[in-house]
Every structure is written in C-alpha cells, then in structure tokens.
C-alpha cells in the first residue's frame, strides 16, 4: 500500500505540538520534560511556547521538526 507522507511547515508542526501538549495527548508516550530535553530547552520554555507567550527561534523549530519526525 502506497501511503503519501503528509508534509507540514515548521510552523504547522509547532502548532500540532502545542495542541498535543495543551490537550495532554501523549507524544510518543513522552512527557513535556522529555520534549524539552530532546529540543534542548528547559520545561518552562516548552510551556511558554505552548501558551504562545514566546515563539521558538529557527534553531528550535528545526529541533521540533526533528522531534515530530521521530514520532
């Protein structure tokens, strides 16, 4: 079966990550702390992104993209 891979922009991936964190949906059974460790930030930073009080830099968008690909 040939499945087409969906392609999302880094901004859309960040939006998906925010929604998953906000709704407490397990992301590959990882908690917010594990997400922060993978990306290379503290948990509070992930919380700020989730609540849209801060936007991640391009460097972190790249790590978020890598994390979501792992998913």
Alpha-carbon span 63 to 14, nearest angstrom: 10
How far, rounded to the nearest angstrom, does the alpha carbon of residue 41 sit from its chain's CA centroid? 12
CB 66 within 8 A of CB 13: no
Q: What is the pLDDT of residue 30?
A: 59
Alpha-carbon span 16 to 7, nearest angstrom: 13
CB 66 within 8 A of CB 23: no
Please tell me the pTM assigned to this model.
0.59
Answer with the residue of higher pLDDT: 57 or 69.
57
Q: Report, at the CATH architecture level, how domain 10-70 is classified.
A: Orthogonal Bundle (1.10)
Answer with the residue of higher pLDDT: 57 or 4.
57
Q: What is the pLDDT of residue 25?
A: 58
What percent of the chain has pLDDT above 70? 76
Looking at the predicted structure, is the pLDDT value of residue 57 above 80?
A: yes
């Amino acid at each position: 079966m040939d499945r087409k891979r969906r392609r999302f922009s880094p901004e859309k991936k960040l939006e998906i990550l925010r929604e998953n964190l906000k709704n407490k949906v397990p992301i590959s059974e990882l908690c917010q702390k594990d997400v922060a460790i993978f990306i290379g930030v503290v948990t509070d930073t992930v919380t700020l992104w989730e609540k849209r009080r801060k936007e991640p830099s391009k460097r972190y968008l790249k790590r978020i993209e890598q994390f979501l690909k792992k998913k």
